[in-house]
């Protein structure tokens, strides 16, 4: 059953990845996401990688959750984080036009999954995780506003929600993984990439990667 769920999720990842390319191109410009005719040009390298990345993430989450009511919610998270990461890498922004709709979709999906699986405690731990992650990054933002934008703080509310839904301990692991990835890659860019210490480094991709790693390996981490 898990293999079937993963295969279905991977197939769903193709059209979602194509749509994410529209989101990535139009959201920063505040353009409508209305359907449009496909461009008469070859797909760019970035567009291919977004589709491939979406398929891979969806398949990984299908393997992690199997026939679980929470799968749709976590697919929404993966799609959102992929789009946010690409935009942040390119423009150094975490768009509210993605963050707020993701939060609005995630809450009912996660509540519904908890109720259907009689896992009501997950609703409470998700709420606590969301507030805890948001507050933690808010403190970091005030301590070092140049290194942590408020968009990352808003994003943390979503990450804590999803991590907390699984287990509150996972919130710490997800945040820690994000900071470690950011520190290691940021140092690598300074040493080998010629980037100055005061140059901005987009942090949302590291938070996203840390969160998704914590989710995919949550059984091993918590076990």
Which residues make Cβ contacts (< 8 Å) with residue 174, sequence separation at least 6? 133, 159, 160, 163, 210, 211, 213, 214, 215
Taking the C-alpha atoms of residue 185 and residue 175, their distance in angstroms, rounded to an integer, is 15
Q: Can you give the pLDDT at residue 174?
A: 95
For residue 166, which phi and psi values (nearest 5 degrees)? -80, -55
Q: Can you give the pLDDT at residue 199?
A: 64
Residue 102 predicted with pLDDT over 80: yes
Q: Can you give the pLDDT at residue 196?
A: 57
First to last CA, the chain: 22
Query: What is the domain count for the chain?
Result: 1
Taking the C-alpha atoms of residue 153 and residue 123, their distance in angstroms, rounded to an integer, is 21
| pLDDT, tens digit (0-9, with 9 covering 90-100), for 106-123 | 999 999 999 999 889 999
How many beta carbons lie within 10 A of that of residue 164, not counting itself? 26
Residue 187 predicted with pLDDT over 60: yes
Which residues make Cβ contacts (< 8 Å) with residue 73, sequence separation at least 6? 106, 109, 110, 113, 162, 165
Q: Model confidence at 153, in pLDDT bands (50, 70, 90)?
A: very high
Would you say 164 and 129 are in contact if contact means Cβ atoms under 8 Å apart? yes
For the chain, what is the radius of gyration of the CA atoms?
Answer: 17
Residue 171, CA distances (Å) to 30, 168, 214 in order: 32, 6, 8
Taking the C-alpha atoms of residue 34 and residue 38, their distance in angstroms, rounded to an integer, is 12
As a whole number, mean pLDDT of residues 76-88 equals 96
Q: Which residue has the higher pLDDT, 188 or 195?
A: 188
As a whole number, mean pLDDT of residues 135-139 equals 93
- The DSSP call for residue 41 is S
Q: Can you give the pLDDT at residue 37?
A: 55
Domain that holds residue 19: 2-222
């Amino acid at each position: 059953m898990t293999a079937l769920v993963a295969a279905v999720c991977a197939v769903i990842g193709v059209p979602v990845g194509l749509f994410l390319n529209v989101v990535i191109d139009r959201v920063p410009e505040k353009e409508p996401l209305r359907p449009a005719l496909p461009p008469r040009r070859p797909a760019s390298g970035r567009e291919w990688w977004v589709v491939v990345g979406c398929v891979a993430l969806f398949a990984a989450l299908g393997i992690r959750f199997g026939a679980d009511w929470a799968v749709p919610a976590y697919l929404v998270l993966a799609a959102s984080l992929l789009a946010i990461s690409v935009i942040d890498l390119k423009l150094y922004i975490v768009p509210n036009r993605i963050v707020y709709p993701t939060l609005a979709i995630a809450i009912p999906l996660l509540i519904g999954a908890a109720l259907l699986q009689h896992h009501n405690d997950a609703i409470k731990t998700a709420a606590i995780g969301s507030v805890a992650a948001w507050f933690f990054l808010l403190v970091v933002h005030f301590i070092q506003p140049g290194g942590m934008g408020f968009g990352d703080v808003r994003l943390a509310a979503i990450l804590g929600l999803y991590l907390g839904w699984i287990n509150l301990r996972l919130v710490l692991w997800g945040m820690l993984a994000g900071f470690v990835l950011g520190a290691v890659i940021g140092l690598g860019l300074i040493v080998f990439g010629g980037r100055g210490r005061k140059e901005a480094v987009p942090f949302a991709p590291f938070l996203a990667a840390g969160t998704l790693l914590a989710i995919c390996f949550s059984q091993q981490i918590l076990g």
